[in-house]
Structures are given as structure tokens and as C-alpha cells.
Amino acid sequence: MQKTLFILLAIFSIWTKSYSQGEPERNYITKIISDFKKQEKISENPVLVINETIIDNKKIDSLKLTKDDIITLRIFEKGQNSLIEIYGKNSKNGIIFIERKPLNKE
């Protein structure tokens, strides 16, 4: 009886692990942008600045950034035209500033 229970628990554990992994988590930056768009804080194609570097919108999907990588996150909502001179015309859509942890070089 104990042996059967152990086998059932082992099978359930393996199934739970594979089920909980599901589809891979999408890029955390993509999630942040999507959430801010839903809240109408930013528009399509906001400016993204990571560690003082402006990131091209075409490269956002390729970033491998998790929630744990982020130290600070600040947002300037859409419509702040005073930032256009510094960050370009897309800054009218909003700006997301992210400070990320340094990469571990092993």
C-alpha cells in the first residue's frame, strides 16, 4: 500500500511540474508594456531606456529580462511633450526607464 502511494505521489509530482511549466513565460518587458497600454499610461511604441541606453523597439521581443533582473522601473506617461527634445518623437507615447542588475560574468 505504501509503495503504491509513493508511486502515485511520484507520478503526480512529475505531472504537476510539467503542467506548471506550461508555455514559456514571455519577455517581462513585453508584459510591462502591455500592462501600461491597458492602463492607458503609454501608447504604441513608447521609448524604452535600460541602464541609460535607448532600446530599439524592434529589439524588445529579443530581450531576456525577468522581473528579478529589474532594480527600478519608472514611467513617464504619454503626452509629456517636453521630453521629445531628449528622447525623440516616440517619447510622446510614453517612456519606460529600467535600471537592471549587472550581468553575472562567469
HEC readout, the chain: CHHHHHHHHHHHHHHHHHHHHCCCCCCHHHHHHHHHHHCCCCCCCCEEEECCEEECHHHHHHCCCCHHHEEEEEEECCCCHHHHHHHCHHHHHCEEEEEECCCCCC
What pLDDT is stored for residue 64 in this prediction?
80
Confidence of residue 22 (pLDDT cuts 50, 70, 90): very low
pLDDT in tens, 39-89: 999 998 899 999 999 988 888 878 888 888 889 999 999 988 888 888 888
Which residues, listed in sequence order, are joined to residue 48 by a DSSP beta bridge?
55, 96
Q: Is the pTM of this model over 0.85?
A: no
Asked if residues 75 and 68 have their Cβ atoms less than 8 Å apart, the reply is: no
Contact 70, 76 (CB under 8 A): no
